[in-house]
Amino acid sequence: MSIDHRLAPEHEELRRTVEAFAHDVIAPKIGEFYENHEFPYEIIREMGRMGLFGLPFPEEYGGMGGDYLALGIVLEELARVDSSVAITLEAGVSLGAMPIFRFGTEEQKREWLPRMCSGEILGAFGLTEPECGSDAGGTRTTARLDQATNEWVINGTKCFITNSGTDITGLVTVTAVTGRKDDGRPLISSIIVPSGTPGFGVAAPYSKVGWNASDTRELSFSDCRVPAANLLGEEGRGYAQFLRILDEGRIAISALATGLAQGCVDESLAYAKTREAFGRPIGANQAIQFKLADMEMRAHMARVGWRDAASRLVHGEPFKNEAAIAKLYSSTVAVDNAREATQIHGGYGFMNEYPVARMWRDSKILEIGEGTSEVQRMLIARELGLSG
């Protein structure tokens, strides 16, 4: 099958708009937010006014009527400048709003999506737990239906949850064991928990290596009660739901990783043209030229990968394997390019005032979040017909 990855005029216009926003609005300010570990509320509000949080959702729910390709384009352009802002958008859309759009009732969609699409509130997805990371089937958080009050009573802990404790966080969708199958395996369901619900605790922000201008926290639930109507989709389908959400999210993370990889090229190229050593720009040295050529090659192929997966998703074709390949490759590329960009910058690459220092710190999590590189290899191997 021949795939044309050239952007349609509307997608190219979107790309240029976000590119300008990233360079004119985000780039001058984000370093201070990053070093102070502060959430950039005004930047996020502006992104909401631009409609970025509503890109892939229908207009009837307050969205822009776009698609997943449009979301990926935006994430790539944002991450070329800063990953904290990009992951806030990615998590808000792919993990916060998308589960409600994919699996919610009409009432749930009407209640939550318009405010999420406008950026008025952020949503989060509570999946990972201290005792089970990649093994999401080992969920220990429980939800018991109190027949007397018709409420779910939730108990448990979630960790590493993005967008879960900001001043504008509106809800967290949590996975919880709601019963047992005949063979004893857990029935895992998804339940919407609005922020501020009694029994829903939000810890202080983590001290992180990177993504320091984004919000990541541990959550606790102690006899937290929400209406039975807050069940998202069918009871017992939470595990299948999150698998679908993560498949789509891997495309988004791949686009973000590609942006970081390209941002490393951008910064290193500019530095190589102006930084002089031994009487000439360091970009005149073949060693630097080869590094930049390899970095550009990796970023280009990562872009081909995520756009291929996104195109398949948009056209209703199977995309699970392509998403895993794109996520695995682009995250590896992001780490490689960040390392080389730091090397090109020399001592300055180790100074936080230079964007490549942020990129180096931000890159590693891309090989871990939304499915580790090892998990991606497992998924690809299964698609090849191998089992273990």
What DSSP assignment string belongs to 193-211? EETT-TTEEEPPPP--SS-
Task: Give the Å distances, CA to CA, from 83 to 74, 229, 258, 288.
Answer: 12, 36, 11, 25
Amino acid at 138: G
| Residue scoring higher pLDDT (5 or 245) | 245
Q: What is the mean pLDDT of residues 93-110?
A: 97
Residue 136's pLDDT is: 66
335-369 pLDDT per residue, tens: 999 999 999 999 999 999 899 999 999 999 999 99
Supply the DSSP string of 109-126, one letter for each residue. Answer: HHHHHHHHHTTSSEEEEE
Domains defined along the chain, listed by start: 9-122 (1.10.540.10), 123-234 (2.40.110.10), 240-383 (1.20.140.10)
pTM above 0.85, yes or no: yes
162-217 pLDDT per residue, tens: 999 999 999 999 999 999 988 889 999 999 999 999 999 999 999 999 999 999 99
pLDDT grade, residue 4 (50/70/90)?
Answer: low
- Are residues 268 and 292 in contact, defined by beta-carbon separation less than 8 angstroms? yes
Percentage of the chain surpassing pLDDT 90? 92
pLDDT at 3 over 90: no
Q: Is 370 a known active-site residue?
A: yes
pLDDT at 225 over 50: yes
Residue 92's pLDDT is: 98
- Which residues are paired to 282 by β-bridges? none
20-66 pLDDT per residue, tens: 999 999 999 999 999 999 999 999 999 999 999 999 999 999 999 99
Q: What is the mean pLDDT of residues 227-237?
A: 96
Task: Give the Å distances, CA to CA, from 210 to 150, 216, 359.
Answer: 42, 11, 8
pLDDT at 2 over 50: no
Residue 1's pLDDT is: 44
Catalytic residue (choose from 120, 370, 374, 383): 370
Residue 134's pLDDT is: 62
